[in-house]
Chains A and B, each alone.
Chain A
Amino acid sequence: MKRWLWILCLCLLKTFPVAAVQYTADTRTEVRIPYAQNLNEEMLYYMFEWGDGTCSPSSLKRSGIQGFMEHQYVAAGTYTGRFCAVSMSGARSEWTPFSVAVTAAEKKKTGRQPIQPAAVMDNRGALSGISAAALDWSSELAETYSDRKWVGVELDDYYALDQLVLTKASGKDFPTHFMIEYSINRGKTWHKLNSAQFYFLPDPGTQKVTIEFNGLAANAVRLISTRIAPDAEGRMQIHLGSFQLTGSKDLLFDCSERGPVIAGLNNMWYAFGSAVNEVRLDYQTNGQSKRPFECGVSYMGNAEWMAWDALEMSWQPSRDLNVLRAKWLDYPLDKDGFVWACPGDPRHLFNNRHYDNNACYISGIAHYCLQTGDKAFLQHTCAVTGLTNLEKVRLAMRYQLEQLGGTNGVLTITDPEVDGTPGSKSGNYWDYYKFGYQSAFDNAGFYQSLLDMAELERFCGESKKAAEYEAIAAKVKQTFNELFWNEETGRYIGCIDAKGVRRDYGFTFVNLHALAYGLADEAHARKILDWLDGERIIAGEKSAGEDIYHFKMAPRANTVDMADVKPLWVETWGGALNPDDQGRYGMQIQNGGTIFYTSYYDLHSRLRYQGIDGAMRRLNVIAGEFEKDELRRMDSNHIGHTLMIGVLLCFPESGLVPMFYVDGIMGLHPEDDGLLIRPALPEGWQWVAVNSYWFSGREYSIRADRTAKEVLIRQNGTRMDITVPAAGTFVLTAEGKIVAKEAR
């Protein structure tokens, strides 16, 4: 449509808000309608009536932000719908009509198959003889507005839930204040579906109210009241006509051992990876949310997150991936190859340069291109630099090799602001500590970027260059161990500052990154893991033994109290993080606190050096914690500072942890010649699977099975279903062929 015509539409709507707008098109199955509404700055949601007998409330949004809502029409026809905004205190906009002509439609691949529940229940217990599809349910009378009344279903197994369909009880009001909760342990603990919290819900009349789950795994679901206002007769009660779930028994991450661990891994992905069911106050999956909505976010998009963003987002097509690709296409670099912290500034938080940017950029671009096969991305000429993206990646690597001296086997930061001394500034993602000069963290990332760059060069047909990078990587590995290993503590130090001082404050994340990348030999790895597991105590440190995993979900970031390091070796950010006061040990992420993402490296470290059973011991602890509260934790310290644990909000890297299922247990990793499949099944598991996985533009379901004797390939619609023997190593080529790589 011409731009002027859209503007005309906007003007007409502005002037005549109740006039229906007609749309016609050849085919259409989804409608997205951006809108903006401000109801006294209150949070609000939108109620959409689609004109096909269904209506859907959106998740909560911030007032005054434009956004969208999607709907799947399942039959061709012309639909007249409308929508309105409803605020927290019940203020409501007028209804705005719209009309949609759907000339063709297709059903969602996921099915929407009705689920027959094993039991229907409410506050009083099981409701025998009652069908969820014809519930006609009324709660007990509530004594106060705050009484919680609920009705729900228990399922016979775990399901990847698609949708919940609710209807009004005959002659009764529909609940106005409620939320939807789900459980992965048959109701022992319930978790809130963040996108389904409603206040002052408009009367749906005879329409079906539909609520999306987007694949969430659960074996029980309920509707629970959050406020019960008295009706005209003064009775406080809620009612419901029907409660119908749709979904599939095929979980996204699936396995033979169906229990809270696999269900939790699925939901960890939906919470922290795709973040598809989280409250996005401004509609973006990477956008800000805020408390009390403790939400996961999907990606960050800036340099230091690029490797992680690419790892999390490249294996599934999504709007997020498109946004990221667009951002990366013209990502700025300096002329010498230094990668900027964000598109607007080379400095981290406008403060100073971080020297892990380049490695993260290189690893991220390499992973994205290998996973998606997107060579057009590499050939694109950047609007900022005038270089193709392949030239940019090579330039970024050259910066590491030449400007930072990496060709000699170690990156050395010569920036006087980042020289690792107490008077300097932070030099990498961990921006509280003053990593600089020769930093083990930055060198570990450099090492990995060399290996990733080698893969990318081979992918581009440049085997000679690839070999050169691998040769440098071997040199870096040797130098890394010579420079950074501390024989006294039996672990890697953090950095060597410009004055030659070796900084070892028990950095768990440095050691886990190094192990996950394979920098250590077996003996060093054992020492490090023994230290972390509390089997080897390092005397005199603030945290030792079991206390290192005090937070259970991940180890403390450092085991030496930074307040004991004098002069202070931390960036106190105006005093707000000072370890002598506000940032005291255990009260600040970067002084005895933790960031959840490090568990991804922890799991890979254990897989590499202890095998899958060692990794599973750690994963089972994490899954157990997730089962309690989905790790929606924002504990605060004595000044109300909540940056003690990094899981939610500005930590999209939390989505790495469930990715261990994909690249650890399933063993899927894109390389230059195709997708490596090297499964590592836990003891007792007969098979593992990921049921929707995209590689090089095609969708696959990939299963590794102990009972499979040979590779099986079956076309399933547009998806290809592949089963491989669990003990083998295979490569899936871009053309969809499987070849055995090597015997195990």
Chain B
Amino acid sequence: MRVIFFLSLIMAGSVFAQSATQEVPVVFDTFQSSFESRTGWQNFGAAYAMEFIETPSEAGPSRLKVKARFSQNEKEAKLIWRFPDVQCRKFVLRAMVPKQVHSGDVFLRVLMNDTRGDAYFFKPYVQGTSPVDLPCWTLGGMKIQKASPLPVGKWVTYTTDPATDVFYLQKKQKAANAVQDMALMNTPRDALNIDAGSRPAMEAVFISFQIKDGSPLINQEVEFYLDCVEIY
């Protein structure tokens, strides 16, 4: 007869962080393996397709090509990157808008979801001293963010610090639309007994390439590139 023993333990051990010898991201994607990347990435909005291609970029041997078709009704080409729940001290991505695109028309915005269903709207890509107003739709209504258009034909590094760069915090985004949220998140987290004293971990990043009203890119086919996303 086999006896299986159960030992219920509530671990009271302290937590300590492991120091790294050099700053290396804890979670990242460099699009080296399409099969690996495919489960973490989604495209939607004006972004109608993704291709994981082995074309060298600044970060390595591969990149992600995003195909988009803007319209009067859909001015955002959106991506979701899902990663295992992790604390985010810094988020970095490298993106490129090809030369064929008219300069000054594409803006980059980033939104992050935590494991409690809250959404953090971060500052858009801003470069220089004269950013323009960029509309941002939230459950709390339309907000105006200051943003700079992405330069064309060169890789741009976007970095955000969740501690200081939050533009707007949207609480409990998942409660807004149960069916859609289930599709987006697949985790009814409110049912979990999460320690109220702990900090929320992040679980997904929404990356949006946005155009403004009247842009010549409306009804145009556009491609964008990412070569790396990193969480530190």
Contact = CB atoms under 8 A, between A and B. Distances in A.
Interface in A551-607: 573-574, 576-577, 582
Contacts of A100: 5
A36 B45 CA distance: 40
B160 interface: no
B44 A639 contact: yes
B200 interface: yes
Contacts of A43: 84-86, 201
A639 B184 CA distance: 10
A89 B86 contact: yes
Residue of B11, B24, B38, B82 most packed against chain A (CB within 10 A): B11
A28 B35 contact: no
B195 A38 contact: yes
A570 to B, nearest CB: 13
A740 to B, nearest CB: 38
Interface in A83-139: 84-85, 87-96, 98, 100, 106
Interface in A184-205: 189-192, 199-200
The winner among B28, B84, B87 for most chain A CB atoms within 10 A is: B84
B42 A640 contact: yes
Interface residues on B, range: 35 or more
B82 to A, nearest CB: 4
Contacts of B203: 290
B4 A32 contact: yes
Interface string B1-23: 11111111111111111101110
A9 B85 contact: no
Nearest to A282: B192
Contact of B6 (A21, A68, A638): A68
Nearest to B86: A88
Interface stretch (A142-150, A163-171, A390-398): A142-150
B190 to A, nearest CB: 13
Contacts of A18: 13
Given A94-B13, A98-B7, A640-B42, A229 B85 contact: no
Nearest to B11: A37
Contacts of A478: none
Interface stretch (A291-299, A609-617, A729-737): A291-299
A62 B21 CA distance: 27
A89 B13 contact: no
B169 interface: no
B26 A88 contact: yes
Contact of B3 (A25, A33, A42): A25
B113 to A, nearest CB: 12
Nearest to A628: B35
Contacts of A42: 84-87, 201
B15 A25 contact: no
A384 interface: no
23 contacts: A10-B10, A13-B12, A15-B12, A18-B13, A31-B7, A33-B9, A38-B194, A41-B198, A43-B86, A87-B86, A88-B84, A90-B20, A98-B7, A146-B32, A146-B60, A200-B18, A227-B28, A291-B40, A292-B39, A576-B177, A639-B45, A640-B180, A641-B180
Given A17-B12, A33-B9, A68-B6, 13 more contacts: A32-B4, A32-B6, A40-B15, A41-B195, A96-B9, A96-B11, A100-B5, A106-B2, A290-B203, A576-B177, A576-B180, A636-B43, A639-B180
